Amino acid sequence: MMPQITTDIACAVARLRAGELLGLPTETVYGLAADARNPAAVAQVFALKGRPASNPLIVHVTGREQVDDWAASVPEAAEKLIAAFWPGPLTLVLPAKDSVSPVITAGQASVALRAPAHPSAQAVLAAFAGALVAPSANRYMSISPTCAAHVAQQFADADLLIVDGGACQVGLESTIVSLLDDTPRLLRSGTLDPAAIEHVLGQPLARGAAGSVRVPGQHVKHYAPNTPAFSVANVPVAAQADPRCGWLLLRPRDDIAGTVHALGNEPIAYARGLYAALYALDNAGLERIYIELPPRSEAWTAVHDRLSRASQSA
């Protein structure tokens, strides 16, 4: 058995209706999608990823019109953020209806919802006419995929259909905001500017989980290549001449012997290329990977978050 890549939306939807999983492109990363109302299909997502049952899934919807099927209440703050940022890379955590499967929510009283902007995701959601759970389409703790071939690599021995939607435009997982109490909280950084979210809310965002708000599954070791990866403030001189070292740099350099990927010093473009560069370096048979740390400014927060999970500091 091996994965199959397609652009046939009708075929993809038929798989979902049959309770099977689907590799689904979104603008952030590819998802491993299943019918959110089919408990056996949802269970399969956990099984194929090797994901612990304690890590809840995001429910992907067509838009505001499906939110009341999942959320017990929709606060004014949610209405504002939905109007401003959906469809797009923003996930909202809201109080869950009793009818939402505890397998999706990992037994929490909340549910995470997102309306993706990718045209293939929208075509599948519209034709399916239901909601889809979709965690990133990688095995537990490995790198999120940003193209169909990465998904196929992750699940090389599975009979999985993958919709080819090209390379993801955003490249990092969605920003997650919890609206469970009066203080909106940023649970996961993404490429949306927190200041833009605060502007729409008319209120500051608290950072990180606190009180009854939990964000399970944000493991320190996550998104990691198999090759040992080290983040460095400066390029270590001794390794520059070693062809068995791979490099993820900001600017290209011609004084380095090993494989170099340069992602530039602009955070949005860097984010778009990050996971593909990590896949390429991880697949290159190298002994170690060095990652040059970007500047410590707010615009790089989501990139720093992912790099800290992908590497150890040297």
Q: Tokens in use for 127?
A: 């034709």
Candidates 134-142, 230-238, 247-255, 261-269; binding stretch for Mg ion (CB under 5 A): 134-142
The residues, ordered by sequence, that sit 6+ positions from 173 with a Cβ below 8 Å of its Cβ are 28, 29, 136, 144, 188, 190
Cα 15 from Cα 44, distance rounded (Å): 13
Q: How far is the CB of 137 from ligand TXA (least distance, A)?
A: 7
Closest contact distance (angstroms) between CB of 87 and ligand TXA is: 11
DSSP character for 183?
Answer: S
- The pair of structure tokens assigned to 143 is 């790198």
From candidates 66, 136, 153, 175, binder to Mg ion by CB under 5 A:
136
Measured CA to CA, the distance from residue 293 to residue 248 in angstroms comes to 9
Count helices and strands in the chain by DSSP H and E runs: 9, 16
Write down the least CB distance from residue 245 to ligand TXA, Å: 29
57 vs 281 by CB, closer to ligand TXA: 57
Element (H, E) at 90: strand 90-95
Half-sphere exposure of residue 131: CA atoms within 13 angstroms, side-chain side: 27
- Pattern 5-44, ligand TXA, x by CB under 6 A: ---------------------x-xx-x-------------
Q: Taking the complex as a whole, how short is the minimal distance between the CB of residue 79 and Mg ion, in angstroms?
A: 27
Report the residue number, 136 or 178, with the smaller CB distance to Mg ion: 136
| Cis amide bond preceding 87, omega within 30 | yes
42 is in the binding site of which of ligand TXA, Mg ion, none (Cβ under 5 to 8 A by kind)?
none
- Tokens 């004084």 label which residue? 255
- CA dist 283 and 12 (Å) reads 29
Of 63-71, 118-126, 136-144, 226-234, the window that binds Mg ion (rule: CB under 5 A) is 136-144
Look at residues 240, 258, 181 and name the one whose alpha carbon lies nearest to residue 214.
181
Q: With CB under 5 A as the rule, give the number of residues binding Mg ion.
A: 1
By beta-carbon proximity to Mg ion, the closer residue of 110 and 136 is 136
- Please say whether the beta carbons of 27 and 171 come within 8 A: no
Which one of 37-45, 67-75, 131-139, 196-204 is the stretch in contact with Mg ion (CB under 5 A)? 131-139
Query: Smallest distance, Å, CB 100 to ligand TXA?
Result: 9
Residues numbered 72 to 131 that lie near ligand TXA (CB under 6 A) are 91, 93, 105, 108, 110-112, 114
Strand 312-313 with 229-232, pairing:
parallel
**Helix (H) or strand (E) run with residue 312 in it:** strand 312-313
What is the rounded end-to-end Cα distance, in angstroms, of the chain? 40
- For ligand TXA, the closer of residues 143 and 239 by Cβ is 143
218 near ligand TXA, judged by CB under 6 A = yes
* Residue 105 beta carbon to ligand TXA: minimum distance, rounded to whole angstroms: 5
Please tell me the count of residues contacting ligand TXA according to CB under 6 A: 27
- In order of 68, 84, 175, 302, the CA distances from 307 in angstroms are 36, 29, 16, 9
**Could you say which of Mg ion, ligand TXA, none residue 105 binds, taking C-beta under 5 to 8 angstroms by partner kind?**
ligand TXA
Decide: helix, strand or coil at residue 129.
Answer: coil
- Using CB under 6 A, which of the segments 77-85, 173-181, 234-242, 280-288 binds ligand TXA? 173-181
Interface with Mg ion (CB under 5 A): 136
For ligand TXA, the binding residues (CB under 6 A) are 26, 28-29, 31, 55-58, 91, 93, 105, 108, 110-112, 114, 134-136, 173-174, 176, 187, 215-218
